[in-house]
């Protein structure tokens, strides 16, 4: 906001300086000032005015010449200024005075300014070849003045006198020589820009100065005290006729507009404007003037311009020579227009090629959102404009991820892809400002050598070119290298801008999509981890509640159960009847089972702390197998064969062996022949201890896979299992920092896998880390 305010303030200051310079220009001559101070012929003292004008012989000669030209047949009878005042009237003489005074003032100031510039440059005479064609402009102005005079003469319905029309036409473009007089070098630039752009000068003036020649001319017309009609003309002469403001001298503005169109159409002089213009006939119709008056003015114009130019001392050209000059200028304009059209046609073809490449880019998948496919589409579209060959893309992945290098053929097919770090010779290279180094031979050769090694380009290929594909803040930096021969005509940076903008947008979108997909993956993984953590938390909370319940149950139930069990056993010893004795023994066994179940639940809920000590793996397995009735004959143990020494685990032997016993018991119960295989192995590279227990049973159902470790869950018939063995085994394994899972066996059946990451003695663990 502050920057915008500063720019507006600077522009306002510049406009004010220019307007102050306009105000500093000399005023009109005393004769012109006196003539302007007289409002009408009734206020005029003809004798006094005649003496004042005739005091300047040169001025008198030009004024009489203009008066004779407008005399309508009086000719040589007008020999004195006083006679001109009497015979032609005050208005005609005033018009002649104004015409001569304005022309001589601006021309004289311009010649003096040229002499000063030449002196400053150390030259002895005025410089030639100025950008603003002052002579051509005044020839054009005299042409507009003459045409306006002829049109006013041929349209009696207009409230415009021929002499008034002449003055209006002569000074309508007054602002152009005024700005050229004040700012010659800057105005020369405006002339050049208008010619190059084929534009009128006013919009270029507003772009450079902040004001145009209309405003400058109106300012000086007000300062000189020119009549209101002339002020309106210099301000509005190129305004659309149909939308002229109310209260202005519309008739004189319309006459000048038609005269201006006629002179531009006939290439009479040089107004400096190059923009499109309506035909003189259409402007004449819009202004309400008759076509016959336009035809008559066209027929007489060159002769009248020649006479007026001779009177003003502008140039002495006979009408045929003036006509020939107009034809020559028209031919010159046609040649320039033809050259411009040829140049624009060439530019159009280049733009068409680039736009076709843009269309090709989108057609082959440039908007797929995939970085590799986008780079391939970039290579294919680049080949359409810059030549067929192999194309290598170098993309900075950012965030320390390295650089992606891809090799494509001219059809955009991927031949090779890799990621690599920059070599030392390219350390600190920034692709977001690639244009700053692509023209440096040393950097380009280092880039070619690196890409040549990574993608297979020949680093000695002198034709290898580096093309900046994407650069700028917020855009993934990317350059492309190609061994394609350079085409005869390569589009410049301006023509390539649409294609590069398309590449940048698509590559940014693809990179953003990749980042979003990675973020989504990370978010999904975080959600899974959160769900697992919540599941564990829920399980821990359930176990905590179960622990509280079983602790109370163990305290409240074990005492009665102990009494029931003891009294049942005592009763059995005193009963003689065998049936009653068996009943008492069943009561004792049931009470014991119930007590054991409560104790198991309490242990699952509150396992306590593992009391670790070095234990041989063989002893651990023997204790587990021994804890299962009848398992010694049916359990097969497979130990690692590459161990030179017995395996020793630092674990809580009794608890871990009990966990393994529960797993062996479960596997044996599901095996038809009771065969169970226990396999022990150490997994590289982290050296985890893995114990696998396989059975040859029917395998696990999907329901069992989900609920096998839930307390009291069992797929065996009621009464065959309590459903606490696997939950207890899981609890005791996790007490050692391990994990347990169930999965299908390799050849049928089921497999329980126990993983213990932290099982080795400290010395062996440190030795393994060092290795």
The separation between CA 154 and the C-alpha centre of its own chain, rounded to angstroms, equals 61
Give tens-digit pLDDT for 516-550.
887 888 888 888 888 878 877 876 676 667 666 66
Q: Which residue has the tokens 């391990």?
A: 738
Distance CA 736, CA 586 (A): 37
Q: Does the pLDDT value for residue 371 go beyond 70? A: yes
Q: Does the pLDDT value for residue 61 go beyond 80? A: no
Give tens-digit pLDDT for 11-53.
566 777 777 777 776 766 666 676 666 644 455 566 766 666 6
Q: Does the pLDDT value for residue 64 go beyond 70? A: no
Q: Do 212 and 205 touch, CB atoms closer than 8 A? A: yes
Alpha-helical (H) ranges within 686-735 are 702-707, 725-734
Q: Does the pLDDT value for residue 209 go beyond 80? A: yes
**Per-chain mean pLDDT for the chain:** 77
Q: Which two tokens stand for residue 548?
A: 């509280």
- Mean pLDDT across 210-236: 87
The residue that leads in pLDDT, 77 or 579, is: 579
Percent of the chain predicted with pLDDT > 70 = 71
- What pLDDT is recorded for position 393? 87
Confidence tier at 261 by pLDDT (50, 70, 90): very high
Q: Does the pLDDT value for residue 71 go beyond 80? A: no
Contacts of 121 (CB under 8 A, 6+ apart): 127
Give tens-digit pLDDT for 167-190.
888 888 888 888 888 888 888 888
The residue that leads in pLDDT, 410 or 2, is: 410
User: Which one, of 398, 396, 395, 399, lies nearest residue 407 by Cα?
Assistant: 395
Q: Does the pLDDT value for residue 124 go beyond 50? A: no
Percent of the chain predicted with pLDDT > 90 = 3
Query: Helix, strand, or coil here: 586?
Result: helix
Give tens-digit pLDDT for 619-631.
888 888 888 887 7
Confidence tier at 258 by pLDDT (50, 70, 90): very high
Q: Does the pLDDT value for residue 419 go beyond 70? A: yes
Q: Does the pLDDT value for residue 257 go beyond 90? A: yes
- Mean pLDDT across 71-88: 59
Give tens-digit pLDDT for 319-370.
556 555 555 655 565 566 666 666 777 777 778 888 888 888 888 877 777 8
- Mean pLDDT across 753-770: 69
Q: Do 506 and 367 touch, CB atoms closer than 8 A? A: yes
* HSE-up of residue 586 (Cα within 13 Å, Cβ side): 6
Angle, helices 90-120 vs 81-88, to 10°: value is: 130
The separation between CA 531 and the C-alpha centre of its own chain, rounded to angstroms, equals 40
Q: Which residue has the tokens 């059995």?
A: 572
Q: Do 584 and 575 touch, CB atoms closer than 8 A? A: yes
Pick from 89-98, 408-417, 694-703, 711-720 the range whose average pLDDT is largest.
408-417
- What pLDDT is recorded for position 4? 45
Pick from 252-266, 357-371, 385-399, 482-496 the range whose average pLDDT is largest.
252-266
């Amino acid at each position: 906001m502050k920057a915008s305010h500063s720019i507006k303030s600077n522009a306002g200051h510049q406009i004010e300086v220019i307007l102050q310079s306009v105000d500093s220009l000399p005023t009109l001559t005393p004769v012109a000032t006196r003539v302007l101070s007289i409002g009408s012929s009734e206020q005029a003292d003809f004798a006094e005015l005649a003496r004042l004008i005739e005091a300047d012989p040169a001025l008198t000669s030009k004024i009489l010449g203009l008066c004779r030209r407008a005399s309508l047949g009086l000719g040589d009878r007008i020999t004195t200024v006083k006679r001109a005042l009497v015979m032609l009237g005050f208005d005609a003489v005033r018009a002649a005075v104004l015409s001569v005074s304005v022309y001589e003032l601006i021309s004289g100031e311009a010649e003096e300014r040229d002499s000063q510039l030449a002196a400053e440059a150390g030259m002895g005479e005025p410089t030639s070849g100025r950008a603003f064609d002052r002579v051509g402009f005044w020839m054009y102005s005299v042409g507009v003045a003459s045409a306006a005079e002829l049109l006013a003469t041929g349209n009696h319905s207009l409230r415009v006198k021929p002499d008034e029309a002449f003055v209006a036409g002569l000074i309508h473009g007054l602002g152009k020589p005024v700005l050229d007089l004040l700012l010659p070098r800057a105005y020369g630039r405006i002339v050049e820009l208008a010619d190059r752009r084929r534009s009128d000068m006013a919009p270029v003036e507003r772009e450079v100065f902040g004001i145009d020649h209309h405003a400058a001319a109106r300012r000086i017309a007000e300062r000189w005290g020119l009549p209101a009609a002339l002020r309106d003309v210099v301000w509005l002469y190129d305004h659309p006729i149909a939308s002229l403001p109310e209260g202005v001298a519309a008739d004189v503005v319309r006459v000048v507009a038609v005269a201006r169109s006629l002179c531009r159409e006939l290439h009479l002089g040089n107004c400096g404007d190059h923009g499109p213009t309506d035909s003189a006939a259409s402007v004449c119709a819009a202004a309400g003037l008759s076509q016959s008056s336009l035809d008559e003015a066209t027929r007489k114009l060159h002769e009248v311009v020649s006479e007026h130019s001779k009177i003003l001392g502008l140039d002495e050209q006979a009408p045929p020579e003036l006509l020939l000059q107009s034809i020559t200028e028209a031919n010159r304009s046609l040649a320039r227009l033809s050259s411009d059209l040829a140049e624009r046609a060439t530019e159009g073809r280049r733009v068409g090629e680039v736009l076709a490449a843009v269309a090709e880019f989108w057609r082959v998948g440039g908007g797929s959102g995939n970085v590799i496919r986008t780079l391939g589409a970039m290579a294919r579209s680049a080949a359409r404009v810059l030549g067929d060959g192999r194309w290598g893309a170098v993309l900075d992945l950012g965030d320390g991820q390295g650089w992606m290098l891809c090799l494509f053929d001219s059809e955009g097919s991927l031949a090779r892809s890799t990621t690599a770090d920059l070599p030392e010779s390219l350390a600190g290279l920034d692709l977001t400002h690639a244009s700053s180094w692509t023209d440096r031979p040393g950097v380009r050769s280092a880039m070619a050598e690196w890409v040549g090694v990574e993608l297979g380009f020949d680093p000695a290929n002198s034709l290898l070119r580096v093309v900046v594909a994407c650069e700028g803040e917020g855009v993934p930096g990317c350059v492309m290298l190609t061994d394609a021969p350079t085409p005869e005509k390569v589009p410049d940076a301006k023509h390539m801008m649409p294609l590069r903008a398309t590449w940048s947008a698509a590559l940014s979108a693809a990179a953003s999509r990749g980042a979003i997909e990675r973020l989504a993956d990370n978010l999904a993984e975080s959600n899974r981890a959160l769900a697992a953590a919540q599941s564990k938390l829920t399980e821990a909370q359930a176990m905590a509640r179960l622990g509280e319940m079983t602790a109370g149950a163990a305290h409240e139930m074990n005492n009665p159960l102990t009494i029931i069990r003891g009294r049942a056993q005592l009763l059995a010893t005193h009963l003689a009847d065998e049936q009653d004795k068996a009943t008492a023994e069943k009561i004792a066994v049931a009470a014991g089972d119930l007590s054991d179940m409560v104790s198991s639940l309490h242990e699952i809920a509150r396992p306590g702390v593992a009391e670790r000590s070095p234990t041989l793996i063989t002893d651990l397995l023997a204790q587990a197998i021994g804890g299962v009735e009848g398992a010694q004959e049916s359990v097969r143990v497979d130990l690692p064969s590459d161990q030179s020494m017995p395996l020793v685990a630092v674990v809580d032997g009794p608890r871990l062996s009990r966990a393994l016993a529960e797993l062996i018991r479960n596997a044996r119960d599901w095996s038809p022949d009771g065969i169970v295989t226990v396999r022990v192995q150490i997994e590289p590279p982290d050296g985890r201890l893995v114990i696998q227990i396989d059975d040859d049973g029917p395998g696990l159902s999907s329901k069992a896979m989900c609920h096998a470790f839930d307390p009291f869950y069992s797929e065996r018939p009621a009464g065959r299992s309590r459903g606490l063995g696997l939950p207890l085994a899981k609890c005791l394994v996790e007490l050692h920092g391990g994990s347990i899972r169930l999965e299908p066996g390799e050849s049928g059946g089921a497999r329980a896998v126990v993983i213990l990451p932290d099982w080795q003695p400290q010395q062996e663990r440190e030795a393994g880390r060092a290795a």
